[in-house]
């Protein structure tokens, strides 16, 4: 067999495989996991963490600004997973819009998986053990708080963001033209 025939055969096999809904769903989930890993790395890298300062009397204090910035971890997580959810919603629509109800369920579950992966990867790659580090701290030490998701409801941002483009595209995506031939006319015309 020539190389051209093998390439054409391989392309046909991939096209047939892509035609199966289950493979499209698997591709969406794999993209979600990859985006979740990237999101987790971005969350751990880009989130500024407030810190406590250990005083001479061994009391740990945090500034008022530092105290209010503890919520920054949740805000950063929300923005990152919101963006991931939007991307997954658009990709889900483009790959599944002719597959019926699957276009809604698969991107929602994939975006929820991406949110969980982002959360777990972010925690995995950052230093933990705030309590132990604070207990070992000496006077004058600065101890950063742990990266943490303090609001479990932030996990739902990605699915909400994923459903938004799906709803908009479902409403405004042009319907395929159907050739109806000569439809019977209503006699009231």
pLDDT at residue number 146:
86
pLDDT at residue number 130:
82
**pLDDT tens across 109-133, in order?**
999 999 999 999 999 998 888 888 8
What is the rounded average pLDDT of the residues 178-189? Answer: 56
**pLDDT tens across 77-99, in order?**
999 999 999 999 999 999 988 88
What is the rounded average pLDDT of the residues 161-188? Answer: 76
Task: Give me Rg for the CA atoms of the chain.
Answer: 25
**CA gap 132, 145 in Å, rounded:** 11
**CA gap 27, 116 in Å, rounded:** 18
* Non-local CB neighbours of 136 within 8 Å, separated by 6+ positions: none
**pLDDT tens across 10-58, in order?**
666 656 656 678 888 999 999 999 999 999 999 999 988 888 888 888 8
**CA gap 163, 93 in Å, rounded:** 9
- Checking if the pLDDT of 189 tops 50, the result is no
pLDDT at residue number 19:
67
For 14, the enclosing helix (H) or strand (E) is helix 3-18
Cα-to-chain-centroid distance, residue 171: 23
Give Cα separations from 31 to 7, 48, 83, 143 (angstroms): 25, 27, 14, 36
Asked if residue 92 lies in contact with residue 110, where contact means CB atoms within 8 angstroms, the answer is: yes
Q: Which two tokens stand for residue 128?
A: 């933990």
**pLDDT tens across 129-145, in order?**
888 888 888 888 888 88
Alpha helices (H) in 21-145, listed in sequence order: 21-46, 64-68, 72-96, 102-124, 130-136
């Amino acid at each position: 067999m020539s190389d051209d025939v093998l390439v054409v055969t391989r392309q046909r096999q991939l096209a047939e495989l892509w035609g199966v809904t289950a493979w499209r769903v698997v591709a969406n989930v794999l993209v979600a996991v990859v985006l979740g890993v990237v999101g987790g790395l971005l969350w751990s890298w880009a989130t500024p963490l407030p810190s406590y300062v250990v005083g001479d009397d061994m009391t740990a204090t945090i500034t008022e600004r530092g105290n209010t910035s503890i919520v920054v971890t949740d805000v950063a997580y929300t923005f990152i997973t919101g963006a991931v959810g939007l991307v997954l919603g658009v990709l889900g629509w483009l790959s599944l819009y002719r597959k019926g109800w699957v276009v809604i369920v698969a991107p929602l579950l994939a975006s929820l998986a991406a949110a969980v992966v982002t959360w777990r990867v972010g925690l995995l790659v950052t230093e933990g053990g705030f309590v132990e580090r604070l207990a070992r701290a000496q006077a004058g030490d600065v101890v950063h708080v742990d990266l943490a998701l303090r609001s479990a409801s932030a996990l739902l941002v990605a699915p909400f963001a994923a459903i938004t483009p799906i709803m908009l595209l479902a409403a405004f995506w042009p319907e395929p033209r159907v050739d109806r031939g000569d439809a019977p006319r209503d006699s009231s015309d």
